[in-house]
Structure formats: C-alpha cells, structure tokens
Amino acid sequence: MKLRTRCFPLGALPYETIQTATKMVAKFFEQMPFLAVLPNLSPEDSVLQRTLGNIPGIIIKDTRVSLNLGDASYKAGLLKLDKAFNNPTPANLEPFAIEAPFLEKYLQIIKKFQSANAVINLIGPFTISQLLTVAAEEHMLVDKNFRKLFIQSVCVKALWMMNKIKEYCPTTVPIVVLEESLFGQLGNIKRENEDITVDLVTNLFVRVAEKIKAAGGLVAVQCLDKCDWKIPINAGVDIISFDAYNNYNNLSIIPEKLVEFISRGGKINWGIVPVMTEAMVRSLNIDFLTKRLFHSFEDIIISGVPERFIYNSSLVSIQGNVDKLPVLFAEKAIILSSQLSKRIPFKS
C-alpha cells in the first residue's frame, strides 16, 4: 500500500470558521484531507454524532448516549439499516447521511486537488458496543442482534461517505479511521455472565474491515491508550494509529506480528507530536521530535523488526485533539508533524 504523504491527519481542530479550517486542511493535507471536527464552530460536531446520528434506537445529547429500543419505529429503522448494509445504493444509504459543518469544503478540497486519499473518522465497533452497553445497563456485545447493529452502524456511515468522495473524485481512495477510545480497556472489562473474548472482538473488526475494503476503501484503527494491537492486525486492517509519545513501547512487544503486518503492506501512524498542554507545544522543536521518533524506531528494530520495515511503513501525526489549544499552538503542532513526516528517510 502506497500513500502520497506520511503526515496523517488526526484530531479535532480549534477553528471557529470554515474558512480558517479550509486553509489548514488544504495547505497540509491536500493529498489526504480529513473531515475535520470543529467543536468550537459547532458544539454538536463530533465523531460520536457523525457515527451514531440517524441510527435506529440511538439518541445522542451532548456526549451522552441513550437508547429507545423495541418500538415500531426502531424495528422499521433496523430494516432500513439492514437494507442499506446489504444493498448500499445511494438511495438506501441516504437516511444515514453524515452531517458536518466542514463536509462541503472537505469534498471540494478532494475535487480540487484530486486527492490520492481522504480520511473519514468514525467511532469503531468495539467502542460503540461499550458506549451502548453502558447506556442500556445490559449485556449487549454478546448478543448477536446487537453486534449486527454495531457493525452495520459503522459500515453504512462509512459507505455513505465513501460514495460522496467518489462522486467528487473517482480515483480517491478513502481511509476509514475507526476511533477506538475504549479498546484499551478490553482486558479490564468484567461483567457477570458476559464473556468478551478476543475472537469476539476480532470478528467485529473483521466484519467492518471486509465491508469497507470490498467497497474500495482502506481501514485504520486508532487507539491512544495501550492496547492489544494483535487484534486489529489479525482482523486485516491497513493502518494502526497510536499515541507514540506516551506509549512508544506499545509495539515493541509484538515484533513478529509487526513483521507480518508490514509485509502485507500495513502502515503505522506514530502520534508523536504531543499536544496535551500549551506549554508542551510551546517548547517543541523539530530536532527534538526527530530524535524522539527515531529513538522509538530503534526500540522496535532491536526487538526484531527490520529497520527498513519500520522506516518505510511509518506515518506521523499530532498526538490527539487540538481544539482546546490556542490556534497558534495548534497550528504549530500540525506544522511540526508535517515537517517531521518529511524527515523520515526511505531505507533500502
């Protein structure tokens, strides 16, 4: 898998206008634009809303998810969802359209630059399962009907967005990033009479990845906590994205699996540019980040992964959301990630 850029888009942006967000995305991500989340422009704009809005039985208010299951409208909605999943025509997908303030400009950027790739961020199926389990206070992941809801919800949203991208530029390859903020908690989830196995979670990723890839997309899994990366790798995803500043050694414990992953074209995104505080971003410089990135590479190389595998498969990004930072420092972090991406040499 070849990508035109090594700078991977990540995180909500701080802008309060569409124009300023457009300038940033067009300048630094013209070959891999992303549907930027702009909570300072619209508080309702979130990856959660984009993923679960218009999904039957699910109600979102602020960041809270509640459920309304079992009535006639819920059952009718499930039939529409199933139809869209199994026969993803534009007409069948339209009831599950994504609404976002930046959507129009995002599509225009793709068309103008004929972007090689375009990123779509959605909540991943495992995190959806846990959000809804908490909302329902019942055991949902082990229920086959609910697992179908988790899988189909993500897929129809991805397929709708992929269709839109193809309308504007048929050659653009979409990258669907499954944000799995709760994936790191997998080993700690213990509920009475609920057996959440590795095979069960792997199958969630497999079902989503197969559907997206069959439609011509690539699949990334992003988790910024320590987690078991063998699961998404075994599920066949194309990119893994992690917090490489705080959890840089999260991959050195699975060298054999990394070799397998990279051998089939897999890419690793290193969220290496820290953005936790304004003071931290203020102190950053490109030489410090370059040294830290290459030191992290060396740890994995020592564990047994060939040097050329790591250098040639790596992408870089900011560590997470920058919407709470002043614009000046948010932009500094993004600029540094772009500069850093150009410092990674190709190894033969």
> Tell me: the pLDDT tens digits for 241-277?
999 999 888 899 999 999 999 999 999 999 999 999 9
Reference 161, options 98, 209, 203; nearest CA is 98
Q: Tally the residues of the chain.
A: 348
The tokens for 322 are 């920058």
Instruction: Confirm if 348 and 308 have CB atoms less than 8 A apart.
Output: yes
* Confidence band, pLDDT 50/70/90 cuts, at residue 132: confident
Q: What is the mean pLDDT of the chain?
A: 93
Domain count of the fold of the chain: 1
pLDDT for the residue 296: 95
Residues near 153 by Cβ (< 8 Å), separated by ≥ 6?
51, 52, 55, 58, 81, 125, 128
Q: What is the tens place of the pLDDT at every residue in 32-55?
A: 999 999 999 999 999 999 999 999
* pLDDT band (50, 70, 90) for residue 24: very high
Which tokens go with 76?
Answer: 């009718």
Element (H, E) at 79: helix 72-86
94 DSSP 8-state letter:
G
- Within-domain flag for 252: yes
Distance CA 215, CA 234 (A): 20
> Would residue 204 count as lying in a domain?
yes
Bridge partners, residue 270, by sequence: 242, 316
- The sign one gets for the Cα dihedral 165, 170, 171, 176 is positive
* Residue 298 to residues 309, 337, 347, Cα–Cα distance (Å): 12, 19, 14
Specify the CATH number for the domain of residue 318: 3.20.20.210
Residues 140-171 as b/e (b if ≥16 CB within 10 A, e otherwise) read bbbeeebbebbbbbbbbbbbbbbbbbbebbee
**Contact yes or no for 42/101 (Cβ under 8 A):** yes
Contact yes or no for 41/33 (Cβ under 8 A):
no
pLDDT confidence of residue 129: 86
The pLDDT confidence band at residue 21, using thresholds 50, 70 and 90, is very high
pLDDT tens, residue by residue, 137-162: 655 666 777 889 989 999 999 999 99
Q: Express each pLDDT in 91-120 by its tens digit.
A: 999 999 999 999 999 999 999 999 999 999
pLDDT at 189: 56
Q: What is the pLDDT of residue 187?
A: 66
Beta strand spans in the chain (E): 58-61, 64-67, 117-123, 173-179, 218-223, 239-242, 267-273, 314-318
On whether residue 154 sits in a domain, the answer given is yes
Instruction: State how far the Cα of 323 lies from the Cα of 39, in Å rounded to an integer.
Output: 7
Token pair belonging to 275: 């953005």
For residue 91, count CB atoms less than 10 angstroms from its CB and return exposed for 0-12, middle for 13-18, buried for 19 or more. exposed
Dmax of the chain from CA atoms?
61
Comparing 330 with 190, which gets the higher pLDDT?
A: 330
**Residue 101 belongs to domain spanning:** 18-341
Strands 314-318 and 267-273: parallel
With respect to residue 96, please indicate whether it lies within any of the assigned structural domains.
Answer: yes
Q: What is the mean pLDDT of residues 120-145?
A: 78
Judge whether residue 87 has pLDDT over 70.
Answer: yes
pLDDT at site 259: 98
pLDDT of residue 253: 93
Q: In the prediction, which pLDDT does 192 show?
A: 53
pLDDT in tens, 194-244: 567 889 899 999 999 999 999 999 999 999 999 999 999 999 999 999 999
State yes or no: pLDDT of 26 exceeds 70.
yes
Joined together, the tokens standing for residue 66 give 């509640």
Residue at 203 is within a domain: yes
Torsion angle of the four alpha carbons 108, 113, 114, 118, in this order, in degrees rounded to the nearest 10: -70
Residue 164 confidence (pLDDT): 98
| Mean pLDDT for the stretch of residues 56-80 | 85
Cβ proximity of 218 and 199 under 8 Å: no
Residue 331, domain member (yes or no): yes
* Pairing mode of beta strands 267-273, 239-242: parallel
pLDDT at 278 over 70: yes
DSSP for 134-160 reads HHHTS--TT-HHHHHHHHHHHHHHHHH
Which of 163, 156, 135, 164 lies closest to 54, judged by CA?
A: 156
pLDDT score of 68: 81
pLDDT band (50, 70, 90) for residue 190: low
Helix 255-263, helix 286-303: angle, nearest 10: 100
pLDDT value at residue 131: 85
**Residue at 1 is within a domain:** no
Q: Is residue 2 part of a domain?
A: no
Q: Give the pLDDT of residue 135.
A: 63
